[in-house]
């Protein structure tokens, strides 16, 4: 079976879905790989790196024409859809719950599509979970970006001229990105606090040496490893509990997202007004509206003396590592779905069922279903 690796076209994207090392492993399993010309260039992978393992390098149109499976990181766009037909099996992030029009267009082509962002949060799918592997890098890079943007250093430093007190870091959301941000900020010597709607994250936070800001839970819960939308009462009480730490923080990193929905607003303009002059907010949820009311996607603004950076932080900023991890996730996913280089189509199996969004032009999953 032929697998086509496409170059990412989304603005700012530097990753590639399959790295040369994973290309080698797929070829060793009997797959044929066709890689779009310079698909890995922004991740520091040359065409010759792929060719050394037996992959073919072709122009984009040829990759579409000759491949059965087409792999990307970001959703297929309108130009891609012009080259897709009923013979194709697509694998990428599709964000099907919030992107119904794309799903309809794929179905209209008669194609089949798997969504990598729909991998279930279960133990046997951990090595396929692209959201976790990429969020891990995002959490790390958010702290590094914060260090660059702050006018202070993280660690306690005692000098002949006096003592520098450690910076204070506050993290909203203790998922994969949040935990990595906590660990990175602690390694750099900051005083770290964190908060999350999921009380089960308290132990994880404290195990990394950070303080967990508790808010009494009155029924809020997580589903499939993700936090769900909190009640208005909980949001009010969380603000009250977190305000003291927020107003003292030098760096705030927000990571709270709800799959398929707008990101919850956790920091209002009124709260920003009360923050320290020179504080920095890194809003990782900006692509879905932002956790800070003032955030603007892909922009750095200064409001009320606070620098607010709206971004996904994207793992593309460390594209070599991000591509390697994404590619390993893809390899495990393909391995799970196939046997002897052919699809098993086990439609009742949980991983297959959750990720197979469109099959032969029929929409199996949409925003109103799991």
Q: Is 226 a catalytic residue?
A: yes
C-beta of residue 27 within 8 angstroms of C-beta of residue 332: no
Cα 34 to chain centroid, rounded: 26
User: Which of 226, 248, 353, 359 is flagged as catalytic?
Assistant: 226
* Geometric angle at alpha carbon 224, from 361 and 344, rounded to 5°: 40
User: Which of 19, 67, 80, 129 is flagged as catalytic?
Assistant: 129
Q: Is 129 a catalytic residue?
A: yes
User: Which of 10, 44, 126, 231 is flagged as catalytic?
Assistant: 126
User: Which of 25, 49, 121, 187 is flagged as catalytic?
Assistant: 121
User: Which of 19, 132, 134, 288 is flagged as catalytic?
Assistant: 132
Interatomic CA distance for residues 272 and 265, integer angstroms: 12
Q: Is 126 a catalytic residue?
A: yes
CB atoms within 10 A of CB 189: 14
Residue 269 structure tokens? 């303009």
Cα 243 to chain centroid, rounded: 27
Residue 363 structure tokens? 């929409």
Give helix 20-28 / helix 319-337 axis angle, nearest 10°: 20
Interatomic CA distance for residues 268 and 289, integer angstroms: 13
Strand stretches in 207-337, DSSP E:
211-212, 222-223, 226-227, 251-254, 280-283, 299-303, 306-310
Q: Is 121 a catalytic residue?
A: yes
Active-site positions read 121, 126, 129, 132, 226
């Amino acid at each position: 079976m032929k697998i086509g690796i496409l170059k990412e076209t989304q603005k700012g994207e530097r990753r590639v879905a399959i790295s040369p090392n994973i290309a080698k492993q797929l070829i060793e399993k009997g797959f044929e790989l066709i890689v779009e010309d310079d698909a890995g260039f922004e991740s520091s992978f040359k065409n010759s790196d792929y060719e050394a393992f037996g992959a073919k390098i072709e122009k984009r149109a040829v990759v579409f024409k000759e491949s059965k499976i087409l792999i990307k990181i970001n959703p297929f766009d309108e130009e891609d859809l012009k080259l897709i037909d009923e013979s194709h099996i697509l694998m990428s992030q599709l964000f099907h719950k919030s992107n119904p029009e794309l799903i309809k267009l794929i179905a209209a082509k008669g194609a089949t599509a798997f969504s990598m962002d729909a991998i279930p949060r279960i133990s046997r799918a951990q090595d396929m979970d692209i959201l976790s592997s990429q969020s891990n890098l995002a959490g790390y890079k958010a702290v590094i970006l914060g260090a660059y943007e702050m006018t202070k250093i993280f660690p306690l430093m005692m000098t002949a001229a006096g003592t520098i007190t450690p910076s204070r870091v506050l993290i909203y959301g203790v998922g994969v990105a949040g935990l990595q941000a906590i660990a990175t900020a602690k390694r750099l010597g900051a005083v770290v606090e964190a908060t999350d709607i999921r009380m089960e994250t308290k132990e994880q936070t404290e195990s990394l040496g950070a303080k967990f800001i508790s808010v009494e839970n009155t029924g809020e819960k997580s589903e499939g490893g993700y936090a769900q939308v909190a009640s208005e009462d909980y949001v009010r009480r969380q603000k009250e509990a977190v305000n003291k730490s927020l107003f003292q923080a030098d760096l705030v990193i927000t990571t709270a997202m709800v799959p398929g929905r707008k990101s919850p607003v956790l920091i209002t303009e009124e709260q920003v007004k009360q923050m320290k002059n020179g504080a920095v907010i890194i809003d990782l949820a900006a692509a879905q509206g932002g956790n800070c009311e003032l955030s603007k996607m892909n922009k750095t603004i200064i409001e009320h003396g606070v620098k607010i950076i709206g971004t996904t932080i994207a793992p593309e900023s460390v594209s070599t590592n991000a591509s390697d991890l994404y590619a390993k996730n893809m390899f495990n996913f393909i391995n799970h779905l196939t046997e002897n280089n052919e699809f098993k189509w086990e439609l009742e199996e949980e991983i297959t069922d959750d990720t197979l969004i469109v099959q032969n032009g029929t929409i199996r999953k949409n925003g109103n279903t799991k």
